[in-house]
């Protein structure tokens, strides 16, 4: 079902400062930036590896408000890994299959994700404490 790790999402207070830190420390390049109102984030994607089925990235996330998912996470846990996203060929199909196994889906239907992707989240409590995102990358 999973084709690759698409990205690791990292929650931070100051997006520009963290972009600088990650870009300089790990020699990574920012390939996309986006404000996603629905998800309550301002985010940047830093490319780690390119592949035929899609890339792997670090996703840096700054909350748009304290009551957004990332805002609440920061208040409760501080900066750090917020979620892990797996690449899937078809996000709706993956949601059906995973939901049928009793895992709670946090989305009823796929949402708009970064770089034209389709995404959906799984409840962290049902998958070992890791907030998990499914990503269907945009077609080239
Ligand atoms: C909360 N919990 C987590 C967690 N957030 N566990 C692991 N990782 C996280 N990130 C735990 C929390 O400690 C609680 O456990 C329990 O889950 C319920 O959390 P809560 O604080 O009561 O509930 P909320 O209101 O903070 O909601 C948590 C969820 C929410 C996960 C339901 O954040 C959500 O719907 N997230 C999905 C959307 C999202 O995160 N969007 C931002 C990324 P205890 O204390 O009861 O044991 S946007 C993105 O990635 C994009 C756009 C993209 O990739 O393209
Ligand atoms: Co993400």
Pocket test for ligand 1, best of 73, 87, 91 (most atoms within 8 A of CB): 73
Rounded mean pLDDT, 27-36: 98
How high is the pLDDT of residue 53?
79
What is the tens place of the pLDDT at every residue in 32-82? 999 999 999 999 999 999 988 789 999 999 999 999 999 999 999 999 999
| Residue predicted with more confidence, 127 or 139 | 127
Question: Which residues are found with C-beta within 5 Å of the ion, ligand 2?
Answer: 9, 59, 85, 133
Cα(100) to ligand 2 centroid in Å equals 23
Q: How many CA atoms lie within 13 A of 135 on its CB side?
A: 28
Is ligand 1 within 6 A of the CB of residue 88? Answer: no
pLDDT at residue 2 is higher than 80: yes
| Non-local CB neighbours of 122 within 8 Å, separated by 6+ positions | 98, 103, 104, 105, 106, 131, 132, 133, 134
Tell me the per-residue pLDDT of 76-100, one tens digit each, with 9 for 90 and over.
Answer: 999 999 999 999 999 999 999 999 9
3-state SS assignment for residue 52? coil
Task: Decide whether any atom of ligand 1 lies within 6 Å of the 18 Cβ.
Answer: no
Domains of the chain: 4-136 (3.10.180.10)
Whether ligand 1 lies within 6 angstroms of the CB of 42 is answered as: no
Q: Six-digit token pair at 112?
A: 């708009």
């Amino acid at each position: 079902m999973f084709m690759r790790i698409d990205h690791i999402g990292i929650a931070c207070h100051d997006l520009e400062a963290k972009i600088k830190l990650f870009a300089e420390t790990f020699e990574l390049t920012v390939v996309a930036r986006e404000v996603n109102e629905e998800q309550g984030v301002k985010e940047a994607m830093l490319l780690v590896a390119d592949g035929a089925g899609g890339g792997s990235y670090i996703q840096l996330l700054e909350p748009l408000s304290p009551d957004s998912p990332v805002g609440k996470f920061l208040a409760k846990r501080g900066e750090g890994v917020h979620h892990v996203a797996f690449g899937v060929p078809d996000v709706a199909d993956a949601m059906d299959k995973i939901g049928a196994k009793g895992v709670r889906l946090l989305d009823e239907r796929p949402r708009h994700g970064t770089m034209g992707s389709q995404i959906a989240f799984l409840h962290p409590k049902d998958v070992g404490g890791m907030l998990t995102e499914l990503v269907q990358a945009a077609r080239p």
